[in-house]
Every structure is written in C-alpha cells, then in structure tokens.
Structure 1
Amino acid sequence: MKTLKILLALFFIVVFPFGCMVGPKYTKPEQPQTDSFRYSSQPADTTKSVTTIKWSSIFNDDVLISLIENGIQNNYDLKIAIARLEQVQANLGMAKADLFPAFQYSGQVNSAETVMQPSSAFANMSWELDFWGKYRHQTKALQNELLASDEARKVVLSNIVSAIAISYFELRDFDNQLEITTHTLETRQKAYDIINERFISGYVAELDKVQIEQQVAIAEANIPLIKRQITALENAISVLIGQVPQAIPRGKTNSELLILTEFPTSVPSALLENRPDVKRQEYLYRASFERIGVAQAMRYPSFNISAIAGFTNIMISDLFNDGSYIQNAGGGITGPIFNFGKNKRRVDYNRKLAEEMKFNFQKTYLTAIAEVENSLQNTAMFKEEWTARNRQVVAAQKNYDLSNARYYNGYVSYLEVLDAQRSLFEAQLSLSQLTQKQLSSMVQLYKALGGGWN
C-alpha cells in the first residue's frame, strides 16, 4: 500500500504540472501572395534560392574580401548583436529553471541558547506547478525571442557586408574620379601653357587665355573636394571593420571588378524563409503570441508544493542529534478573487501587442518584396544606362579630339574646344559613378533576396 501511494505521488508530481495549458494556439498569418516578381527577367523558380550563393563568391577582389572578413570579426554593431543574443540565451535559461523545483538551504547559530532563537540547519524545496502553462508559454516566448535575436544578428551581418562592399565601390569610384580630374587638369594645364605663349606672341585673343585659365581653376578646385570624400569614406570603412581611421588598401578598380550578374530569383513567398528581417519579425510575433497564454494563466489559481527537512535545537552541541531532526511537506493554492479587471486587461493588452507584431511582420514582408522589385529594376536599368553612357564617352572623346584639331588649324574658336572638353569630363565622371552604382545594385539585389551572408 505504501509503495502504491509513493507511485501515485510520483505520477501526480510528473503529470500534474502539465495537465492543462491555456492560451491560443499559434497560426501563421496570411500574407499577400504573388507568383513572380514584377521586374524579374527570368521565371521564378521554387527550387532555387540565392541563399546557396556565399557572399565571398560574388566578388573577385581579394582586398575587398579581406576587408569584409575583418568587418565580420571586428565590427562593433555585430559584437553588440551577439551580446544581445547571449543575453536572451541567459534569460531563457532562467525561465526554464522556473519549470522545476527550487532547493534552498538555511542555517542559524545562536549562542544565547533560548527557545525563541534556537540554532538550526535546514534544506527546503518549493515548487509552483505549471498547471496552466504559464512558465511553458514564457519559455516558448523567450525561445522565439532567442531565434529573433539570432535573425537580428544576421540582419546586422548582412548590413555590414553590404555596407563595406558598397563603400569600397564608392571609394574606388572617387579614386577613379580623382584620376580623371587629375588627367583633365594636366591636359588643361598643357593647353593653357600653349595658349598663353600664343597670346604673348599675339596669335590669339586674351579671351582664349582667360577661358582656359578658368577651366584649369575648375579642375584644380575639384581635386580637394574629391580628396575630402576619399578621406571620409576611408574613415567610414575603418569604423565598419572595427579599426581606428586609417588608409584603406586598394584592390581592383571598379571597371576591373566582376560581380555576379545573375541570381536565382525564387517566388516572392520564399522571402519569408530567406530574409532574416522577415523571419525576425515572425519570431517576435510568435513570442508576443505566447505571452497571451502567460497572461491568461495568471487569471487562474496557482498550485504550490513545499517541503522542509533539517535540524533545530536550543543547544548547539545537540543540533545534529536524532531528536533534533524535523521534516514537513505541504501544498497550497493561491488565486485572484477580484482585482477590478486587471487580469482581463492584461490579456487584452497582450492580444493587442501580438496584433501589432503581426502587422509589423506583414509590413516587413511587403517591404522586402518592394526592395527586391526596386533592386531588380535598378540592376536592369543601370546596365542599359551604362551602355548608353559608355557610347557617350567614346563620342565625347572623338568630339574633343576633332574640336582640338580644328582649333589649332584655325577653323573654330577655343569656345568650341572648351565645350567639347567639358562634355568629355562630365561624361567620364558620369560613367565612373554609374559603374559604381551598377556594382552596388548587384550587392543590394543579393541582400534583398536574402543572400547567404552566413
């Protein structure tokens, strides 16, 4: 009979805490669906994903890859994200401990040897049974927050890799602009020297000398501006890679850089699985959903089991005698009676909070689709624009060469040469900037599709 009672007690101890679990069951909210992206140049594929393409494989510049690897190791935003992830891990561990009994000890020694203050040594156990699932819901909420924190880390990682790459492309663009401007300045300075000599000799009017002198000054003024922009970008990249501001090593020029131009474009719904920001919002929604169950469980009574065993005696020397030993076990129940609707309002609050998280999830998904659409359109249009700009540079160079020859043969004024030279200079700068934008757009498309930044 005694064995049966022990077995029954163990059965209730194991089963009773998991007897009921109040709260709604999670269902994934519906999202707006579409079969393909609007500006995709290839049919959507449900079997392929950009996540299979590692970020390092889309660049062919060892210097850029090294900078990104340094950023992954040293960037402080990523370190902060990892620290937050570890905080949630620790918090989850504390929440899991609430599912099990808590054991404590206590001791007291009194030299007065009075009945009112006996010496004692006790061990005790207390356990709030999770009958309604309050602690299980809380644990699930924290598990989802942990997953959300990990996705947040991936978001930071994605931002770091793309920011370093795009900043590097911009830096190489400014390097190229500086080279173009320096070459233009040298060309204009040589033209000034020739025209100045011809002016001194009386072959040309002062107007020609003043016009070319003005163009020399314009080119000279552009160089400090570009150098300031280079310094600012070097400092920004230094911060991204977690180093003090310093000169950034250079690899290939933007025109030499090759980057993947085709990424597998899966159906839009795949963004729910690929994009860390979308997945993060879903995990946050699930966490807030679980807390509805926590709030509902708080409306019901809580059951507690406690036990104590130890020794107590007036005489310290007799503390651990058999006659000093005592033990006791008990159970209790506590619950709300009337608190002016506070517990009900707590449930309502958590429901509305979960609803807000659901809307954030749905909005993030729509934003992700829009970013992919923008990136697909940008990559296509930048490619077309680059082709046209390149033809413009070729034509502008030929126009300048012809105008220069016509001027020195006395057929036109120097104003035509200046106009041709300005057009060439502006076309070269535009092509340089467009090359950078074309490279950056591919990185942004890779990121928008949820590329494999891990």
Structure 2
Amino acid sequence: MVPGELRDPARPGARTSFLRLFSAVAVALGLSACLPADQRPDLGVAVTPGFAAGDKRTAASVSPDWPRLFRSAELNRLVQRTSGQNFDIAIALTRIRQADAQSRISSASLYPTLSGSGDASRSLRPGTLSSKRGPFGDSVGNSFSLGLSASYELDFWGKNRAAADAGRLAAEATRFDKEVVALTAVSNVVTSYFQVLASQDRLRIANDNIAAAERVLKVIRARLDVGTATQLDVAQQESVLAQQRASIPPLQLALRQAKVTLAVLVGEAPAAVSIKGGSLNAVAVPAVRPGLPSQLLQRRPDIAEAETRLTAQEATLYAARAALFPSITLTGQGGLESAVLKNLLRPDAAFAQAASGLVQPILDGGRLRAQVELERGTADELIATYRKTIVSAFADVENALIAIQENSRHERLQAEVVASARRAYAITEQRLREGTIDIVTLLNTQQTLFQAQDQLSQVRLQKLTAYVELFKALGGGWNEASRQAAILDTEAAR
C-alpha cells in the first residue's frame, strides 16, 4: 500500500483480506477445544480428626499478639521493634514489590500495544542514477511523517491469561512468604529472650553455689586448724569451688551472645541495644489449645504459600501447553506523511494500514514440548512440596504438644529433686559445723544440689521454648482473614 492511500473496505482486495482474517479466527476457535485443561491432582494427604497429643476439639486461632501472653513488658517492646526493623522482614517486603512488578509485566500481554513515531529526513539523489549520459543533475528530497502503530495478540488459547494468573499468584505467594518470615523472626526473638533469662538464672545459681562452696571451704579450713580435717579434705572442697567458678565464663558467653542475637533480630547494632532481662520464674505460662488439624490447614501461611505456588505453576504449565498452538496477531498503523512540511497536517497526507498474522510452530527441535515437560516436572515437585508442608505442619504441632507435656512433667519432677537436694544440703552443712559428717557425703550432697538447680533452669527454658514452638506451629494468629487481606492487597497492587 502506498503511504497516504486509505484502502476502501468495499474494494475486492479489502474484502479478500477480511475473509482471510475471518477464516483464521474460525480455525483458531475450532482448535481451542483441543487444548487440554489442567486438572488439580489429588494431594493424597490424610487429615486426622485430631492431634495425637492434644484434645479433639475445635479452637479459635491464637492471638496475633501471642508474645504478650508471656507477660513481659521488655519482651513486648523487643517484638514490636522486630516487626518494624527486622532485616529479614524488610527483605521479604522488597520481594513483594518485585513480585508485584513481575505480575504487571505478565499481565501486559493481555492488552494492545500502542506506540507513536515521528520522522524527518532529507536525501540527496545523485544524477548518475537517473541518467546514463551527462550533464548529470542531483535531486534533493524531503520526507516528513507522524504515525501511530498498534498490535494485539488474540488470546484464543488462554496463554496470556494463564501467564497473567501465574504472575498474580506468585505475588500472592510472596505475601504469604513474608508472613512466614515475620512469624519466624518474632519466634526467634522470643526464644532468644528466654535464653537470655535462662542464662541469667543459671548465672545467679552458679554465684549462689560459689558462695555456698566458699562457706563450706571456710568451715573445713577451720576444722583443719583444730586437727579435725585433713589437707585432702581442703583440696577436694577447693576443687568443688574451682568447678563452680569455671562454670561462670561459659554462662557469660551464652548470655552475651544471646543479647547479640537479639540485637540483630531487632535490626540494630549490638552496642545500641540494652537488654535488662530478669528471670524465667517471672514469665507467665500461657494457655493455648491446638484445635483440629483441619483448622490448621487454614492457619499456616507456609501452607498457603505452598498451595499458591502450586496453583501458579499449574497456570504456567497451561501457558506452556497453549504455546503449542497458533498465535494470531492483529496489527495496525496510521499517520501523516508528506514531502513538504507545510502539507503534513493536511487530510490528504493521511495513511493507514491493517494486517493480521497467524504463526503456528512446526519445527523447533522439540523446544516447546520440552518446555511443557519442564513445567510439568516443576508442578510435580511443588505437589510433593505441598504435601510435605502439610504433613510437616501436623508434625510441628505434635512435637510442640509432646514437648510441652514432657517438659512440664520433667520440670515438676526436677523441682522435687531440687527441694530434696536442698533439704539434704542443709542437713549436711549443719552436721559439717558439728563435725559429725564425712567429706565424701558432703561433696556428693553439694554436687547433687548444684547440678539439680542448674538442670531445673534448663528444663524451664525447654518448656517455655516448646510453647513458642507451638504458637509458631499454629500459625501465630494467621488465619483465613489474613489470607483474604493478602489477596486483596495483591489485586490492589496490579
């Protein structure tokens, strides 16, 4: 078509072009019925009626502010700082922005593209091209144009729609991943804070033990002075005292490193964070019910993430299959063109053209079918990942419930051990002053008490850590409302 010439649709050539386009569209619609639809596979994960270590009753989801149930003001402040300053959460938020941008990129193919152009040129044509014999005269020509071009791919097979859905679902999954990261960060803060308290408790116990060992050593030395004790008795008690003093540096190490870990989790330099701490004895033990496994499926952001990534991959697989079929593209171009600038905006300078094209892959070395197999393999991998995530979620709750039950029982029994050891030590110390006890019994009684007290502090830490793991295993207060909020947020970002 000559630029500036507008084809009349009533002319025979135009009718032929439109008939060809109509035929191509009809063939495409007929072939679309042959495109196989993806069926959601059976996940094959049995959901039991209840947890083996818990009751079989429904329960509301845990509070999103579950760390407050431990009733520690300092812990609450640390958790609040973590939510706003933790580096892992900040990184997860940047991934959400990336995924939203990628979703918009994936959706762009659903819409037509339109671009504008402008051109001005001046050309010199030598006379030797227009005449064989001289004299030769050069010719100078100008060209000016303004135009618009548009194109649109008809999405008969749903390839572009599937790609857009995959991008949207990937953005949703990224939001669920952010919730997983946030829950992990908060759980780590609570656990690290409890480790600080446990280290402080153990340091207090060790210092009390040192004071007790020093008192005993003073009594034994007094007995040595009057001839009722030996140098061996003194050396053995000095060994006990030295052991207690040697236990201080490892406990100080654990305490200081736990504080450094907390500083990193709240997103600050260790020197900028001051942690007072306290004692595990002041921490409240919360009451929490696990509910049913069927409820857990709606309360774990990692399960929602795994499910959404699987659904996104199914859309990607659908798009890969659709790529095996013809692609139909409509293009159009129009504008103004003139050899003289002053005539560029005249109606006579207008030109336009429209075209359609159909491309069917025939020989590509098996690339497209291999792409389908690649996407199918990825989908199978995500199915296995989804199953594993569900089973692991059930296992997390079971393990936390078992740990709470056994550590609670252990704490109760260990408290009885400490109480008995204290009574035995009080009697031993009294008899030592009276001079009616042998040194071996004294040493054994001291070691039993010192070890029992330290063990009780460690068991208490394990019990509280188990509660943290249970809150984490139950989703930390994430629920179906949180899921819908993430979906709406994804839609709003498109």
User: What residue number does 1:32 align with?
Assistant: 46
279, 286, 297: which is aligned to 1:253?
279
Per-residue deviation, 1:102:
0.8
- One-letter identity of the residue aligned with 2:281: S
Q: How does 1:399-418 map to 2 (within 5 A)?
A: 399-418=424-443
Q: Whole-Å Cα distance in 1 between the matches of residues 64 and 80 of structure 2?
A: 17
SS at match of 1:126: strand
155, 168, 181: which is aligned to 2:180?
155
Q: How does 1:160-239 map to 2 (within 5 A)?
A: 160-239=185-264
- One-letter identity of the residue aligned with 2:42: P
String of CA shifts for 1:399-447, please: whole Å, max 9, x gaps: 1011111222122112211211111111111111111111110110111
- One-letter identity of the residue aligned with 1:136: R
User: What residue number does 2:305 align with?
Assistant: 280
State TM-score, norm by structure 2.
Answer: 0.84
- One-letter identity of the residue aligned with 1:304: T
Q: Whole-Å Cα distance in 1 between the matches of residues 184 and 297 of structure 2?
A: 18
Q: Whole-Å Cα distance in 1 between the matches of residues 476 and 39 of structure 2?
A: 28
Which one has a bigger Cα radius of gyration? 2
String of CA shifts for 1:99-141, please: whole Å, max 9, x gaps: 0101111112224477987332211111111111111111111
User: What residue number does 1:348 align with?
Assistant: 373
Q: Whole-Å Cα distance in 2 between the matches of residues 191 and 407 of structure 1?
A: 8
CA distance 1:56–1:167, shift in 2 (3 Å): closer
Q: How does 1:113-124 map to 2 (within 5 A)?
A: 118-124=143-149
Q: Whole-Å Cα distance in 2 between the matches of residues 312 and 113 of structure 1?
A: 19
Q: Whole-Å Cα distance in 1 between the matches of residues 141 and 266 of structure 2?
A: 67
Q: Whole-Å Cα distance in 2 between the matches of residues 321 and 383 of structure 1?
A: 91
Q: Whole-Å Cα distance in 2 between the matches of residues 444 and 207 of structure 1?
A: 49
Per-residue deviation, 1:348:
2.2
RMSD of aligned alpha carbons: 2.4
Per-residue deviation, 1:52:
4.8
Check the 8 A contact 1:61/1:252 in 2, yes or no: no
Q: Whole-Å Cα distance in 2 between the matches of residues 363 and 413 of structure 1?
A: 60
Check the 8 A contact 1:141/1:287 in 2, yes or no: yes
Per-residue deviation, 1:162:
0.7
CA distance 1:386–1:286, shift in 2 (3 Å): same
Q: How does 1:80-91 map to 2 (within 5 A)?
A: 80-91=91-102
Per-residue deviation, 1:173:
0.2
CA distance 1:262–1:154, shift in 2 (3 Å): same
Check the 8 A contact 1:185/1:219 in 2, yes or no: yes
- One-letter identity of the residue aligned with 2:336: F
1:43 is the counterpart of 2:43? no
- One-letter identity of the residue aligned with 1:296: R
Q: Whole-Å Cα distance in 2 between the matches of residues 230 and 126 of structure 1?
A: 66
Q: How does 1:295-306 map to 2 (within 5 A)?
A: 295-306=320-331
- One-letter identity of the residue aligned with 1:39: A
Check the 8 A contact 1:51/1:274 in 2, yes or no: no
SS at match of 1:109: strand
1:385 is the counterpart of 2:440? no
String of CA shifts for 1:142-190, please: whole Å, max 9, x gaps: 1221121111111101101111101111110000000111111122123
1:425 is the counterpart of 2:438? no
- One-letter identity of the residue aligned with 2:334: A
Q: Whole-Å Cα distance in 2 between the matches of residues 193 and 57 of structure 1?
A: 47
User: What residue number does 2:288 align with?
Assistant: 262
- One-letter identity of the residue aligned with 2:105: M
SS at match of 1:408: helix
CA distance 1:351–1:415, shift in 2 (3 Å): same
SS at match of 2:110: coil
Per-residue deviation, 1:201:
4.2
1:135 is the counterpart of 2:160? yes
State TM-score, norm by structure 1.
Answer: 0.91
- One-letter identity of the residue aligned with 1:59: F
Check the 8 A contact 1:406/1:412 in 2, yes or no: yes
Query: Which moves more between the two structures, 103-112 or 212-221?
Result: 103-112
Aligned pairs, how many? 439
Q: Whole-Å Cα distance in 2 between the matches of residues 200 and 116 of structure 1?
A: 124
- One-letter identity of the residue aligned with 1:192: L
Per-residue deviation, 1:242:
0.3
Q: What 5-or-longer segments of structure 1 have no aligned partner?
A: 3-7
Q: What 5-or-longer segments of structure 2 have no aligned partner?
A: 1-8, 10-17, 126-139, 483-494
1:62 is the counterpart of 2:73? yes
Q: Quote the sequence identity (%).
A: 26
String of CA shifts for 1:187-228, please: whole Å, max 9, x gaps: 212322332243244342111111111111111111111111
String of CA shifts for 1:316-374, please: whole Å, max 9, x gaps: 34332333221122211112122243322222221221111101100111111111111
SS at match of 1:299: coil
CA distance 1:51–1:125, shift in 2 (3 Å): farther
